[in-house]
Amino acid sequence: MNFLSLIRWKNLGMIAIVQLLIKYALLEPFGVNTALDGLGITLLVLATIAIAGAGNIINDIYDVETDSINKPEKVIVGKTISEKSAYNLFIIFNVIGVGLGFYLSSSVGKSAYFSIFVVISALLYIYSSYLKQILIIGNVVVSMLVAASILIVGLFELTPNITPGNRDIQLVFFKILLDYALFAFIINLLREIAKDIEDIDGDYKVGMNTLPIAIGRERAKNVLIILNVIPLVIIIHYVISELYKQQISVIYFLVFIIGPLIYISIKLFGAKAKEDFHHISTVYKLVLFFGMLSLVHYLFIL
C-alpha cells in the first residue's frame, strides 16, 4: 500500500481512464482513422503512467523535508520505503516508460516521437529537483505535463494516419483534444497555486519561492480568485454555444464543472486556514476528473 501511495495510484488511474476514454469514447465510435490497436493503446497508457509514476517518486524524494513539515503523516520515503529503494523504483519506472515509448514510436512509423518520452521524463526530474522552487515556472511546467498526457494520445492515434483525404476530420478530433488539454492545463495550474498556498509554511522553511511566498498568502489568494474566472467563463461560453440543445450534457456541466468552480470562487473569499486550501485543491481535482469524464458526452452530440 505504501508503494501505491508513493506512485500516486489514484492519479495514475485517472490518466489511464482519460487516455482510454479518448480512444474508446471519442475516436473509435466515429470511425476516426487511428494508428493504435488495443495492444498499442494499452502500451501507450502503460508508458504514460510509468513515466508519471517515476515523476511522483522523484518528487517525493526531493520533498521529504517539505512534506515532513506540511504533511508529516504522508511521508513515505525514508520511513516505510528507503531513499535507495525509491531511487531504484524511479529508474525502473523510467526505463519501462521510455522503453515502451521507443517501441510505440517505431511501431507507428514516427521514430522522432520517442523523444517526447525522454523529454517528459527529464522534465519531471528537473521539475522536482529545481523548477518547482522557481516562481510560477514550476506550476506551469507540471501543468503542461498534465496536458501532454492528453495530447500524446492524439499524436500517436491521429497524426501517423493523416492523408490528404482525411486530414480535415483528423484535425477536427485533434482540436477537440487540444481543447481538453487546455482545460487540464488551466485547472491543474489553479490547483497548483492552491496547493502552494496550503503548503506555504513548509515551502518557506526550505527556501522555495512559490507565488504565496513571493507576494503573500492573501495576494496569492486574490490572484487565484481572478484566475478562477477564466475557466468559468470559457466553459459557460462552451455550454451556451455548443451544448444548448443537449439537455443532459448541459446539466452535467452545470453540476460537475460550472457549479464546483462557482463554489471555489465563493469558498476562496473566506479561505484562511491550511485546511481551506486543501479542500479547494481537492475540488479542483474533482473538476479536472469530471471535465475529462465529459469525453463520454461526445457519443451523444456528434
DSSP string, the chain: -HHHHHTTHHHHHHHHHHHHHIIIIIIGGGT---S--HHHHHHHHHHHHHHHHHHHHHHHHHTHHHHHHH-GGG--BTTTB-HHHHHHHHHHHHHHHHHHHHHHHHHTT-GGGHHHHHHHHHHHHHHHHTGGGSTTHHHHHHHHHHHHHHHHHHHHHTGGG--TTTHHHHHHHHHHHHHHHHHHHHHHHHHHHHHHHHTHHHHHHTT---HHHHH-HHHHHHHHHHHHHHHHHHHHHHHHHHSTT-HHHHHHHIIIIIHHHHHHHHHHHH--SHHHHHHHHHHHHHHHHHHHHGGGGHHHH-
**Mean of pLDDT values over 67-93:** 87
pLDDT at 208: 85
- In the chain, the amino acid numbered 201 is D
- Over residues 124-146, the pLDDT tens digits come to 999 988 888 888 999 999 999 99
User: What nine digits make up the cell of 176?
Assistant: 477537440
Nearest to 193 by CA among 258, 138, 124, 256: 138
Range 162-174 average pLDDT: 89
Task: Give the Cα separation of 211 and 213 in Å (integer).
Answer: 5
Q: How far is Cα 73 from Cα 93, in angstroms, rounded to an integer?
A: 25
**77 beta partners:** 81
**pTM for this prediction:** 0.93
pLDDT score of 134: 86
> pLDDT of 181-191, one tens digit each?
999 999 999 99
Q: What is the pLDDT of residue 301?
A: 61
What is the average pLDDT across 61-75?
A: 82
Q: What pLDDT sits at residue 261?
A: 97
Q: What is the mean pLDDT of residues 80-97?
A: 93
Is the pLDDT at 75 greater than 90, yes or no? no
Q: Does residue 60 surpass a pLDDT of 80?
A: yes
Average pLDDT, the chain: 92
Find the range with the poorest average confidence among 22-31, 91-100, 151-160, 201-210. Answer: 201-210
Both ends of the chain: CA-CA distance in Å?
42
Greater confidence, 192 or 29? 192
pLDDT the model gives residue 233: 95
The pLDDT of residue 302 is 55
Q: What is the pLDDT of residues 242-294, one digit of tens each?
A: 877 788 889 999 999 999 999 999 999 999 999 999 999 999 999 999 999 99
Average pLDDT of the residues in 155-183: 92
Q: Is the pLDDT of residue 74 over 70?
A: yes
Higher pLDDT, 240 or 207: 240
pLDDT of residue 26: 92
pLDDT number for residue 18: 96
Longest dimension (CA), the chain: 59
Report the percentage of the chain scoring pLDDT > 90. 70
